[in-house]
Amino acid sequence: MKKTILIPIIFFGIVILLLGAFSVMSFLSPIKAVKDLNLKYYDSAFSSGGTLKDYLFEKEAAFLQARTQMAETDSVCLSIDLSDSLVLLEMQGIMLLKARIIRIEKSNIFNRLHKGTYLEYFSKPLEIDSEYSTIPKEAFIIKQAPKDTTETAPPVAKPDTLHKEAVCFNLYLDRNLMIDIRQVDTIKNEQYLAYHKYLRKERISNQIRSLMKFSVPHYEPWIRIDIPAADAKSIYKAMPDHGQVAVKL
Amino acid sequence: MTEPGKFKERYNSSREFRMTVNIITGTGLLILTLLICYSFVLHVMPAVMEGGARLLPVQTPDKMDIIDSEDSSSDQIKITGKKIDELRKKLEKQLPKTPYLVVNTTQNRFFMYSGRKLVREGICSTGSYTLLVKTNEQKGDEQKWIFRTPKGIFRIREKKTAPVWKKPDWAFIEEGLPVPSANHPSRYEYGTLGDYALSLGDGYMIHGTLYQRFLGMPVTHGCIRLGDADLEAVYKTLSTGAKVYIY
């Protein structure tokens, strides 16, 4: 009888110990991420002193510098200004689309970066490494040419305007930053659930991989913004595969 | 039955009962453990991670809580302010000196600007994203045409009034009609393109349409169709060489 009680107690004890250890490692994860970013991107050229006002001016300068660099290319680029709650689609510095950000959430580590790190990190455009979306970038309709006039199809039907799609996409950028853009009032349909499932799977697989090696999990800084559906769709369809993004927090 | 037999029977059934209970309990505990671990990875770990970040001191706050009471280092602000002005001027230089057009092919809308000022906006029709396929059964090959409005920066190459549409091969193929020779009279259609046309090159144009009810929808073969009033305004405002940004 005692054996039968002891075994589950020991088993649970081990599980709790392991979970405790993993909690501590998770706790250390953002701290390690901040340390690594400060080591990699800290630029002493940016003055370490100064006031808050100085810093905000420098932030604006860093953002404009990234946008100016993007303006030298011919591609569509994305500028995300969280302080003014605006998303801009630009081409050679010309504004194509301006969208108001309705909701912002972001990782807690950005405010914990050293000023020199932040300014160096965001003063150059970031490049999209990969992306995932609930909508296709281009969706073609295949039409077989009729053999003669008797087979000619009727004119194109009016698009189904009642069809609601959930527009959500995330951009994985080259400096280990993830931007999650979603339409406001997301419709929780199959596409949205699949999107959530994908994000969850990515997160869990990264964490489990680290835990298996008993190492501190990798922390990926993230920004999530909600914008109107039409703008989200236009932005996603306009952005090229390895497009550039400028961010101002 | 003798006492030892009864005892043995009772003992066996009690042992089996205990085994069953152990198996059920063990399975239940395993499932519970897996659920706890799954919830931990899904919910607890991300929360703990973000919590960990909060313990670090804030180095670069987002908002300016108190502006006026702080003494700013005026020299630093002057330097940074000058840099900001230079960068803004650099961006301003990119602005076309003449009116230009921006076309959103996802929403089928156009915006005409003069400098930073929006002069006119409205609906248009752009490419239908149709892939027309003609199968040649005798040769066993296929011909394909993609009907999509190209994206990028273009310039108005030519402006025409009362444009005539010279129909390409696909215009006959998609109707099931035989393709005539290059300069056959059936190639030329009058009035289909509206009163004006602005050429973007490679056969793509901004022109009018007979199908005004389809404006705002992706129904064209690649060209940009505007309503009559919008077309006239665009034709009269944009000069040859004016930029057209299509995205």
Q: Which residues of chain A lie closer than 8 angstroms to B177, CB-CB?
A: 149
Look up the ipTM and state it: 0.89
Name the residue of chain B whose CA is nearest to A239's CA. Answer: B247
Q: Classify strands B224-226 and B204-207 as parallel, antiparallel or unpaired.
A: parallel
- Across the interface, do A112 and B53 touch by the CB < 8 Å criterion? yes
Distance (Å, whole) CA B211 – CA B205: 16
Distance (Å, whole) CA B124 – CA B143: 29
- Distances in Å between the Cα of A173 and the Cα atoms of A128, A158, A166, A242, B145 are 4, 38, 22, 9, 34
Q: Is B97 on the interface with A (CB under 8 A)?
A: no
> In chain B, what percentage of residues exceed pLDDT 90?
60
The dihedrals phi and psi of B145, each to the nearest 5 degrees, come to -135, 135
The dihedrals phi and psi of A139, each to the nearest 5 degrees, come to -125, 110
CB contact residues (below 8 A), chain A span 37-56, against chain B: 47, 49-56
Q: A246 in helix, strand or coil?
A: strand
Please tell me the distance in Å from B92's CA to the nearest CA on chain A.
8
Q: Does the pLDDT at position B13 exceed 80?
A: no
Encode burial over A1-10: b for 16+ CB neighbours within 10 A, e otherwise: eeeeeeeeee
**Predicted confidence (pLDDT) per residue in B198-243, tens digit:** 999 999 999 999 989 999 999 999 999 999 999 999 999 999 999 9
More confident residue, B59 or A139: A139
The pLDDT assigned to A232 comes to: 95
More confident residue, A64 or B58: A64
The dihedrals phi and psi of B52, each to the nearest 5 degrees, come to -60, -40
- Across the interface, do B53 and A107 touch by the CB < 8 Å criterion? yes
Along chain A (249 residues), what's the average pLDDT of each consecutive run of 10 residues? 71 86 89 90 67 85 96 95 96 96 93 89 95 91 85 58 77 94 82 85 82 85 95 96 95
* Residue B247, CA atoms < 13 Å, CB-side half-sphere: 27
The pLDDT assigned to A224 comes to: 95
The pLDDT assigned to B77 comes to: 83
Q: Is B154 on the interface with A (CB under 8 A)?
A: no
Neighbours of B135 (CB within 10 A): 12
The pLDDT assigned to B69 comes to: 43
Q: Are B207 and B193 in contact (CB under 8 A)?
A: yes
Tokens representing A34 are 């901040």
Closest CB from A23, A60, A238 relative to B44: A23
Q: Give the pLDDT mean for B168-180.
A: 91
Average pLDDT value for chain B? 88
The pLDDT assigned to A86 comes to: 97
Q: Does the pLDDT at position B67 exceed 50?
A: no
Q: Is B31 on the interface with A (CB under 8 A)?
A: no
Tokens representing B91 are 């961006």
Tokens representing A6 are 């002891």
Please tell me the distance in Å from A151's CA to the nearest CA on chain B.
7
The pLDDT assigned to A18 comes to: 86
Q: Give the pLDDT mean for B2-31.
A: 75
The pLDDT assigned to B11 comes to: 57
Tally A–B CB contacts below 8 A: 220
Please tell me the distance in Å from B159's CA to the nearest CA on chain A.
24
Please tell me the distance in Å from B21's CA to the nearest CA on chain A.
11
Q: Is A209 on the interface with B (CB under 8 A)?
A: no
- Across the interface, do A152 and B175 touch by the CB < 8 Å criterion? yes
Q: A200 in helix, strand or coil?
A: helix
Closest CB from A61, A118, A200 relative to B42: A200
When scoring A7, A9, A57 by the number of chain B Cβ atoms within 10 A, the one with the most, hence best to mutate, is: A57
What residue type is assigned to position A136 of the chain? P
Phi-psi region of B101 (alpha: psi -120 to 50; beta: other; left: phi over 0): beta
Q: A213 in helix, strand or coil?
A: coil
Alpha-carbon dihedral of residues A56, A57, A63, A66, nearest 10 degrees?
Answer: -140
End-to-end CA distance of chain B: 93
Q: Which residues of chain A lie closer than 8 angstroms to B91, CB-CB?
A: 64, 67-68, 71, 93
Burial of A230 (0-12, 13-18, 19+ CB in 10 A): middle
The pLDDT assigned to A188 comes to: 75
Give the 3-state secondary structure of chain B. CCHHHHHHHHHHHHHHHHHHHHHHHHHHHHHHHHHHHHHHHHHHHHHHHHHHHHCCCCCCCCCCCCCCCCCCCHHHHHHHHHHHHHHHHHHHHCCCCCCEEEEECCCCEEEEEECCEEEEEEEEECECCEEEEEEECCCCEEEEEEECCCCEEEECCEEEECCEEECCHHHHHCCCCCCCCCCCHHHEEECCCCCEEEEEECCEEEECCCCHHHCCCCCECCCEEECHHHHHHHHHHCCCCCEEEEC
Distance (Å, whole) CA A71 – CA B245: 14
The pLDDT assigned to A45 comes to: 63
Please tell me the distance in Å from A194's CA to the nearest CA on chain B.
16
Helix A115-122 × helix A2-41 angle, to 10° = 70
The pLDDT assigned to A22 comes to: 86
The pLDDT assigned to A193 comes to: 84
Name the residue of chain B whose CA is nearest to A110's CA. Answer: B60
Q: Is A105 on the interface with B (CB under 8 A)?
A: no
Q: Does the pLDDT at position B66 exceed 50?
A: no
Q: Which residues of chain B lie closer than 8 angstroms to A109, CB-CB?
A: 53, 56
Q: Which residues of chain A lie closer than 8 angstroms to B57, CB-CB?
A: 112
Name the residue of chain B whose CA is nearest to A144's CA. Answer: B133
- Across the interface, do A138 and B48 touch by the CB < 8 Å criterion? no
Name the residue of chain A whose CA is nearest to B154's CA. Answer: A74
Q: Is B68 on the interface with A (CB under 8 A)?
A: no
Q: Are A176 and A221 in contact (CB under 8 A)?
A: yes
Closest CB from B73, B104, B174 relative to A234: B104
Closest CB from A54, A219, A238 relative to B80: A54
Q: Residue B243's beta-bridge partner residues? A: B155
DSSP H or E segment with residue A133: strand A126-133
The dihedrals phi and psi of A5, each to the nearest 5 degrees, come to -85, -35
Q: Give the pLDDT mean for B182-187.
A: 91
What's the pTM value of the predicted model, to 2 decimals? 0.87
Closest CB from B22, B57, B135 relative to A112: B57
Q: Are A121 and A249 in contact (CB under 8 A)?
A: no
Q: Which candidate, B68, B120, B62, places its Cα nearest to that of B238? A: B120
- Across the interface, do B96 and A94 touch by the CB < 8 Å criterion? yes
**Predicted confidence (pLDDT) per residue in B120-136, tens digit:** 999 999 999 999 999 88
